[in-house]
Amino acid sequence: MAGDKPPSTNEPGGDPNLLRILWRDLVHGDFDRMFRRDLKDFYYFYLDDERRRRLMQMSRFKQALYVLGWVVRELFLRLAPARRILLVACLVIFFWGSVQVRFGDTSFTLNLRIFSFAGLLFILMLELKDKLLARDELAVGRAVQLALLPDRNPELAGWSIWLYTRPANDVGGDLVDCLELGPGRVGFTLADVAGKALPAALLMAKVQATLRALATDAPSLSALAAKTNNILCRDGLPNRFATLVYLDLRDNVGSVRLVNGGHMPPVLVSGDRFHELQRGDMALGMMPGAAYREQHQDVQPGEMLVAYSDGLTEALNAAGEFYGEERLHAVFAQLAPLSAKEAGARILESVDAFIGATRPYDDLSLIVLKRI
């Protein structure tokens, strides 16, 4: 899942050739597409839903003025106090323009805008330093998160299995995990923590650790979900919860045991037909003492179970449209002759073709279990 290492931009001797880097960015950097994507991200980051609704009722000229004012205000408020003061000083110096300086009989004009430019460049460098430090910390967090996830698909006699997760940011709040519960028996987890990025990733790690600690000794899947829910309610944060699908499979056994805590139901695909399993119970971490039902689903040879996170159906394209269930259902009708891995790849191809170059909006996770 890790990204490829970027090509080297260093000349012999170790010093980067800045002109060559700039030329490569212009020729091979897909500048137009990246600029439009960054402009869209900029718009949605600095303007909330209410402001975007107000803009729709304005003329083009008025929109430009309001956007400029709102963006400058948001930029100003997001800076640290010392940097805000420095920014104000730079703006005052810039609009002041120049001053006349006299030394005896000699006078000259000193252009102050160069000092304003230097101050703004200094603020930009400080912000970039903060971003790079945060990125390094997130890279370490991502490495830890990857180390906690399974590094290969488990093997069970009579089953074809494929697991996949892709975070929208450097770290994600989706959990795809498997745990060997005994000889020829594996438990599978697909959980989706409310929120994104680092806070969701930290709660995801807690959900994983809790399930792994309890799963092998839990008397039933209902008890496993109930105890995990009580722990998250006791130790979690307000307004933080997780949806969960947990499945228990055995060698050469087509009867699947599962429990669903607030997650969208898995789908049973049989030939060109499919149907959702029963709806689940309350999400984990919302209310202590919640009860959870254990479900049973028979899967015949050639049939498959597909569990997925809402990052699949809620994937957005450049026009702001959701991928949606209709497109996913059309793909389900094509999966029957495929292995679990091929079926998962077919779903991802469809989603990626739909979103194109749009930056992912949410984490996307899949578990595909096919009876063979």
Tens digit of each residue's pLDDT (9 = 90 or more) over 184-215 = 999 999 999 887 777 788 888 889 999 999 99
Mean pLDDT of 319-326: 91
Task: Please say if the pLDDT value at position 332 is more than 80.
Answer: yes
Give the C-alpha separation, 308 to 88, whole Å.
49
* Segment among 55-64, 148-157, 285-294, 359-368 with least mean pLDDT: 148-157
The chain-wide mean pLDDT, for the chain, equals: 86
pTM: 0.73
Q: Which band of pLDDT confidence, cut at 50, 70 and 90, is reported for residue 180?
A: very high
Task: Please say if the pLDDT value at position 14 is more than 70.
Answer: no
Residue pLDDT, tens place only, 97-112: 887 777 777 777 888 8
Q: Which band of pLDDT confidence, cut at 50, 70 and 90, is reported for residue 171?
A: confident
Closest CA to 312 of 302, 326, 298, 300: 326
Q: Which band of pLDDT confidence, cut at 50, 70 and 90, is reported for residue 248?
A: very high
Output phi, psi for 363, to 5 deg. Answer: -65, 150
Boundaries of CATH 3.60.40.10 in the chain? 150-371
Task: Please say if the pLDDT value at position 218 is more than 90.
Answer: yes
pLDDT, position 29: 61
Residue pLDDT, tens place only, 268-295: 999 989 999 999 999 999 999 999 999 9
pLDDT, position 257: 97
Cα distances (angstroms) measured from residue 300 to each of 118, 161, 256, 268, 336 = 70, 15, 11, 10, 12
Task: Please say if the pLDDT value at position 67 is more than 50.
Answer: yes
pLDDT, position 15: 55
Other Cβ atoms less than 10 A from the Cβ of 32: the count is 8
pLDDT, position 6: 36
CATH architecture of 150-371: 4-Layer Sandwich (3.60)
pLDDT, position 352: 94
pLDDT, position 8: 39
Q: Is 200 exposed, middle or buried (0-12, 13-18, 19+ CB in 10 A)?
A: buried
Mean pLDDT of 31-44: 76
